[in-house]
Structure 1
Amino acid sequence: MEKIKIKAHAALFGSGLLFGANYWIAKGLMPGTMQPMQIIFVRGFAAMILFWLLSASMQPLKIYRSDHIKLIICSLLGIAINQICFFTGLNYTSPVDTSLIHAGSPLMVIAFSAVIAGEKVTTPKIAGILAGGAGAILLILQGSGPAAAENQLLGNTLILINITAYSLYLVLVKPLMMKYNAVTVMKWVFLYGFLMVIPFSAKDAFSINWQGFTPSAWLSLGYIVVGTTFLAYLLTTFSLKALSAGVAGYYIYMQPVIAAAIGIFMFSEALSTAKIVAGILIFAGVYLVNRPAGIKTNAGKE
């Protein structure tokens, strides 16, 4: 069981790495080469095809009718609402505001897990979430100031809906992962999710200027489709087989650390004391959130 948990944590770290790097990669693709809805359409369609092709090489699993309803709900939350609200909201607000709102996701996951799944919320776990949240916010505040926003209130509201939907998705998809495998769950989630985003993205998708794509743009789009959509979703869902939704949600805090590290080593960003402190807070939070329940402090033994 410990080996499975180690693999699950490695999967979440890999997912965080993919998402963290995506900040720099997607930034170069939008809005000059592609619009947000165009990316949503392409990544949804391509990921759906990849999951169904991968599933074809595996032994088919029968999905109960009642579970299809749950898959549709997960698709609505994790794909349709999540992606549409994120990209649309980001158009109206600043990246700093978006990241600050996202820093509240682990708290939402823990709250949903406690209410819906009856997951126990321990003091170390709360301390870890707060430490990680402080580190993430400290990292975010090291960036540039908020850019001028067309409609900041609307944008922030959409980002809040986006992260609430994804947090609830992590909690609701876990029972399905305990019954089926990650590929089976993802192929249906992306099928239903893609069908839901078609009405909002199809018109923009037909106006993509494929002739204007440079080799760099193709590589960026390939990374978004294969890396941050196919692999990242697969790794996150796989991790839920052995870990709680709260732990999976916590790894969202890893994304600003990865993004900052890439900025320092690849884009010559300055390594400040604040960034070092932020990294320590986040990794300390990882330890507290994942500390085995059986470990007791000296005070607990008295």
Structure 2
Amino acid sequence: MAAEKQRADLLPADALHGKQLGLSVSDSPDLDRLGLLDTHFRMTLGELARTVIIAGGALYYGGHLQPGGITNFLIEELYRYGRRDRPLKVCLAWTVHRGMTPEQIAKQKDLLGLFGEIHFLSPEGDRLDGPVDEPVIDDPPAEERARSLSGLRTYMTTNTSARIVIGGKRAGFQGVMPGIFEEVLFALERRQPLYLAGGFGGAALDVIRNLRPDYAEWFPSAHDAPAPDERLLKGLERIEEAVTAARWDGFENGLSEDENRLLAASYRPSEIAALVGKGMGRLLPPLEGKE
């Protein structure tokens, strides 16, 4: 019976066809305290990419195109799995692609090849036909940078089916709140399923602690932690307000309570990827004519 149940829980081929997973991932300040390395973080991204791509889904990531970054890591993972229908969508905020030369953009397009495509966005988050043919802007004003990042997050939320949240800064962030918080906020406002992976700590675990405190009891706050940034506290308040207004906390994601609790504490790459894939697969409507 146990073997039959395990087989029933496996993600069928093409189970995520037509589904898009938004990646909200950023370095966590808690890795040292948890005894984890950046390697564990990247292994998790690799497992997520494998799970989604093999099951027919697409990945949306908003970041930069610097060598050695997450975008290049994801491209390397896609090379391993061979899907050539551009399943990776790299979304670039206005201030990010405006800081790149045409040569840099062309090089990244060549690197992506048939494995992905770049979505160039306006300051408001509308998709442009391509990069703007104007002089490079090296150091845009902070307000413009924050506005373009909000536009990026709006675009990604509109164009994805669900969002995975891992890590995230508590300090040194740009904008009115940590980026992870704003991404969660936009998802909640649109009643989008969330997969909150708290095992790497960071802003993702702060969100979990705020929404489901008992899910985060495994990792008490550090006694010697510095006073939190006021913008962080206001961001958490905004998230609480969004949950109340939408009557939705994102945990209606295809996973059971026990599975969400496991995801909230897991740092195991294969476990996180399996839970996300399982949840997204369960959310799919049955095929017409099928039970």
- More helix per residue: 1 or 2? 1
Q: TM-score range by the shorter chain?
A: under 0.3
- More contact order relative to length (CA 8 Å, sep ≥ 6): 1
- More strand per residue: 1 or 2? 2
